[in-house]
């Protein structure tokens, strides 16, 4: 099994200009670690992760700050893979943003916004509180 998720390959037609605020916020958190659980077999991952990969690229998040956790599905639907238990991952894609080992935000499977937008909004909200 590859250590890289093919689904994290940036979507070449993703329009960073249309997400200017999102890219700006993600750039402010480029020193964080973005932990991505997904599966190249997963429909949700294939539809969501390429745009997220493009957003991280546009924000200048270094590749070494993006950790891929390829995940498989058992017959009963349980997800298995690296760090799945430690991070209580039940659904994919799951993205956890950490700084110095502290979780700052988490996206799980489906939200009312794309992964990059959802996480940028969460991070900006936290930043405003501090």
Looking at the domain covering 6-13+20-129, what would its CATH class be? alpha beta
pLDDT tens-digit map of 28-46 = 999 999 999 999 999 999 9
Residue 128: predicted pLDDT: 81
Check residue 126 and give its pLDDT: 82
pLDDT exceeds 60 at position 1: no
Note the helical H segments in the chain: 20-28, 43-58, 115-129
pLDDT over 70, % of the chain? 98
Locate the domains of the chain by residue range.
6-13+20-129
pLDDT tens for each residue of 68-101: 999 999 999 889 999 999 999 999 999 999 999 9
Strands in 102-108's sheet, in edge-to-edge order, are 66-70, 33-38, 94-99, 102-108
Res 116: pLDDT: 97
């Amino acid at each position: 099994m590859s250590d890289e998720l093919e689904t994290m390959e940036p979507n070449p037609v993703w329009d960073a200009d249309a997400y200017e605020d999102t890219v700006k916020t993600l750039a402010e958190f480029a020193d964080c670690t973005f932990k991505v659980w997904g599966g190249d077999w997963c429909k949700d991952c294939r539809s969501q992760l390429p745009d997220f990969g493009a957003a991280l690229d546009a924000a200048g998040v270094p590749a070494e700050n993006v950790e891929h956790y390829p995940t498989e599905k058992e017959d009963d639907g349980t997800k298995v893979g690296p760090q799945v238990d430690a991070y209580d991952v039940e659904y994919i894609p799951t993205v956890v943003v950490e700084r110095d080992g502290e979780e700052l935000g988490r996206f799980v499977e489906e939200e009312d916004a794309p992964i990059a937008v959802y996480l940028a909004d969460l991070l900006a909200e936290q930043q405003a509180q501090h």
